[in-house]
Amino acid sequence: MNVNIRIEHALKKYGDFVAIPDLSLEIRPGEFFTLLGPSGCGKTTLLRMIAGFNSIEGGDFYFGERRINDLDPAKRNIGMVFQNYAVFPHLTVRKNVEFGLKNRKLPKEEIREKTDKFMKLMKIDEYADRLPEKLSGGQQQRVALARALAIEPDVLLMDEPLSNLDAKLRVEMREVIKEIQNRLGITTVYVTHDQEEAMAISDRIAVMSNGVIQQIGTPKALYQRPANRFVATFIGRSNVMEARIYAENGEKGLEFKGGFRQPMHNLGDVQNGQPVVVSVRPEELIIKGFGNDVRSAIKAKVVYSTFLGLNTHYMVEFEDGGRAEIIQESQIDDIISNGTVIDLGVNAEKINVFTEDGLTPLIV
């Protein structure tokens, strides 16, 4: 039952506007795959092309070996979960879950058995005879999920299913979704704009922007080795700093503004003096001390600090006016007071370096 999804050279146009120019990707059988990106990046458009609710202007879509471009949505054997639940308000919970099974014209006992199974799985069996308006948002989304899963689809598609829920329920529901998906092993395509949600739930993530996939990878790969500046700043937080490459005496490294030099061992093909952008996550900036020589540290002044228990955040300002955020594990000592000039270093293993345009990674 587990199928892979293959998309080759997908093209989507709305009139003259090209929403997705040329997109290819492959989703493995049983994988939890997430399309992540800011609003308007084309992620929902792509999902709806897979579902059959959007026309396909070019390219080929396959479920396994079957080309589905021209297949009616009703015949694609997909389960779909919508942002606004789309639970039928005039039908009871049971009738909602049964709906797809009845369309398959299965025998009565089988319908009843499967409906019970999935209502139990989603823990909504006690509401079986209620109308959806009597249920909370989280419960309605459970109904929607049970309904989508009951037809035992080849592919489960979810379009921002949690964005209408409040923060606490969102976390709870995403664990429910993850667990059910693991247990059933169903190939799942999930759309969200919430990168934390995507990281928490996905096997792999495709980060999209302007209809183009920027990077596909595991949450860990995306966070630690983003493919470009967009991914670096979209996934988690990153301070972007300007620097130059130096290559002298067989040693290569980064020279920051102000003259601080950081030797690097993982730089790829670079030239001496080449301008680059460095993406440094807040936890990769290290406070080394106070009042050292400009050559041995980056100078910055604390603007304000935020104590959050486990961590303390500092907003600092460089001499050229640029700002950066630092996250440090909270110390037992006093918090560094505003206005203090501090010396910064970077975690050379973790930071990422891109070409000046931010498009190509220079770390190998």
Q: Closer to other proteins at the Cβ: 2 or 83?
A: 83
Give 138-185 as a DSSP string: HHHHHHHHHHHHHT--SEEEEESTTTTS-HHHHHHHHHHHHHHHHHHT
Residue 251 near residue 348, CB atoms below 8 Å: no
Q: Closer to other proteins at the Cβ: 75 or 168?
A: 75
Q: Exposure of 91 by Cβ count < 10 A (0-12 exposed, 13-18 middle, 19+ buried)?
A: middle
Q: Which two tokens stand for residue 287?
A: 């406070």
CA-CA distance, 227 to 229, in Å (whole number)? 7
Note whether 83 binds other proteins by CB under 8 A. yes
Q: Applying CB under 8 A, which part among 80-88, 233-241, 278-286, 316-324 lies near other proteins?
A: 80-88
Note whether 1 binds other proteins by CB under 8 A. no
Q: Which of 154, 167, 125, 163 is nearest to 142 (CA)?
A: 125
Note whether 14 binds other proteins by CB under 8 A. no
Q: Closer to other proteins at the Cβ: 79 or 219?
A: 79
Q: Applying CB under 8 A, which part among 100-108, 192-200, 251-259, 322-330 lies near other proteins?
A: 100-108
Q: How far is the CB of 86 from other proteins (least distance, A)?
A: 4
Q: Which two tokens stand for residue 69?
A: 């471009």
- CA angle 249/255/259 to nearest 5° reads 105
Q: How far is the CB of 117 from other proteins (least distance, A)?
A: 17
Q: Closer to other proteins at the Cβ: 133 or 333?
A: 133
Read off the DSSP letter of residue 51: H
| Total number of residues that touch other proteins (CB under 8 A) | 30
Q: Closer to other proteins at the Cβ: 55 or 347?
A: 55
Q: Closer to other proteins at the Cβ: 184 or 286?
A: 184
Note whether 107 binds other proteins by CB under 8 A. no
Among 80, 180, 277, 342, binds other proteins (CB under 8 A): 80
CA-CA distance, 235 to 199, in Å (whole number)? 9
Percent helix, strand and coil across the chain, each to the nearest 5:
25, 35, 35
Q: Closer to other proteins at the Cβ: 53 or 318?
A: 53
Q: Which of 356, 352, 246, 255 is nearest to 296 (CA)?
A: 255
CA-CA distance, 270 to 247, in Å (whole number)? 8
Q: Closer to other proteins at the Cβ: 16 or 72?
A: 72
Note whether 151 binds other proteins by CB under 8 A. yes
Q: Tell me which residues in 210-249 interact with other proteins (CB under 8 A).
A: none
Among 11, 25, 86, 212, binds other proteins (CB under 8 A): 86
Q: How far is the CB of 338 from other proteins (least distance, A)?
A: 35
Among 16, 17, 65, 75, binds other proteins (CB under 8 A): 75
Three-state SS at 350: coil
Among 94, 147, 170, 299, binds other proteins (CB under 8 A): 147
Q: How far is the CB of 72 from other proteins (least distance, A)?
A: 7
Note whether 161 binds other proteins by CB under 8 A. no
Q: How far is CA 252 from CA 243, 273, 279, 315, 346, in A?
A: 13, 11, 18, 30, 15
Q: How far is CA 79 from CA 38, 140, 141, 286, in A?
A: 24, 16, 13, 48
Among 37, 42, 79, 132, binds other proteins (CB under 8 A): 79
Note whether 289 binds other proteins by CB under 8 A. no
CA-CA distance, 147 to 93, in Å (whole number)? 9
CA-CA distance, 16 to 23, in Å (whole number)? 18
Q: Closer to other proteins at the Cβ: 164 or 262?
A: 164
Site string for other proteins, 43-72 (x = CB under 8 A): --------xxx-x--------------x-x
Contact residues for other proteins (CB under 8 A)?
Answer: 51-53, 55, 70, 72-76, 78-80, 82-84, 86-90, 99-100, 103-104, 144, 147-148, 151, 157
